[in-house]
Amino acid sequence: MALLEVDDIHTYYGNIEALKGVSLTVEEGEIVTLIGSNGAGKSTTLRSISGLTPPREGSIRFDGDDIAGVAPQDIVRKGISQAPEGRHVFPRLTVRENLDMGAYLRRDDHSEDMERVYDLFPRLKERERQKAGTMSGGEQQMLAIGRALMAQPKLLLLDEPSMGIAPILVDRIYETIKQINQQGTTILLVEQSAHHALDASQRGYVLATGQVALADDSDALRQNEDVRKAYLGA
């Protein structure tokens, strides 16, 4: 059984059917990528899984439990956390305070996890007392990922971690994403620009207008003519 099994979900915004029967799986230990153009339904897929926009039909099983319709904070407790599109760090709080917020559901001492985040992102350690809103986009992205890690997720959801970020920092963030995975965290990540994502992942899905158009190994997707034209700028 896969760690995450999304089966035929339909998710709506009012009357708009944003997901028209999406199915996907993520095995424990994998990095899986979801690519697709703007408006394809990538964020809605992640928001369906994390409970922010629950599906109206279909099922989502995580670690053996049905989680469709479960409240978002309970889904975090079960082991899924998300770094949202656009980062959404708390701009007036410091780096350290933002990380504390990521551990808000936990009562235990989380200093070890904070050290782990600082080891992964030394730049955050250097800026520990800086207000998050004064940092660059790339640094805020590091913070958003670090904050998600503070909940000790089994599955980490990353929504466009490279969006609007200087290329050199994108490289560094992707190196760290692979490192997080090597340390045992399963990752489902979403990108519009697919180069780095297909490079880091083992498998991928292409989403188009709320449906899965293609599913394959990342290597095969990189070779695919349609994928190259639409998502790799070839």
Footprint on this chain of Mg ion (rule: CB under 5 A): 42-43, 85
Give buried/exposed letters for 53-81 (b at 16+ CB in 10 A, else e).
bbbeebebbbeeeebbebebeebbebbbb
Q: What is the dihedral of CA 28, 31, 36, 39, to 10 degrees?
A: 60
| Binding partner of 161, given ligand ADP, Mg ion, none, CB within 5-8 angstroms per partner class | none
Smallest distance, ligand ADP to C-beta of residue 80, A: 17
> Minimum distance between the CB of residue 38 and ligand ADP, rounded to whole angstroms?
5
Smallest gap from Cβ 185 to ligand ADP, in A, equals 22
- Does position 87 bind ligand ADP by CB under 6 A? no
Shorter beta-carbon distance to ligand ADP: residue 152 or 193: 193
Both tokens of 159, joined, read 């929504």
> Nearest-CA neighbor of 156 among 81, 103, 87, 85?
81
Q: Does 39 bind ligand ADP (CB under 6 A)?
A: yes
Q: Counting runs of H as helices and runs of E as strands, what totals does the chain give?
A: 10, 10
The nearer residue to ligand ADP, 42 or 147, going by C-beta atoms, is 42
Contact flag: residue 161 with ligand ADP (CB under 6 A): no
Is there binding between residue 181 and ligand ADP (CB under 6 A)?
no
Considering CB distances under 5 to 8 angstroms, the limit depending on partner class, which of ligand ADP, Mg ion, none binds residue 50?
A: none
Of 6, 40, 142, 198, which lies in the binding site for ligand ADP, with binding defined by CB under 6 A? 40
Residue 55 beta carbon to Mg ion: minimum distance, rounded to whole angstroms: 17
Instruction: Tell me which DSSP letter residue 202 carries.
Output: S
Burial 108-124 (b: 16+ CB within 10 A, else e): eebeebbebbbebbebb
Nearest residue (beta carbon) to Mg ion = 43
Does the footprint of ligand ADP cover residue 55 (CB under 6 A)? Answer: no
The C-alpha atoms of residue 61 and residue 51 are separated, in whole angstroms, by 12
User: Which residues lie across from 52 on neighbouring strands?
Assistant: none
**Token reading at 213:** 């158009």
Per the CB < 8 A criterion, the answer to whether 192 and 46 are in contact is no
Position among 44, 82, 140, 218 found at the interface with ligand ADP (CB under 6 A): 44
3-state secondary structure of 188: strand
Residue (38 or 111) nearer to ligand ADP, CB: 38
Give yes or no for residue 42 binding ligand ADP (CB under 6 A).
yes
In the region spanning residues 9 to 28, those forming contacts with ligand ADP, defined by CB under 6 A, are 13, 16, 18
**Which chain residues interact with ligand ADP by CB under 6 A?**
13, 16, 18, 36, 38-44
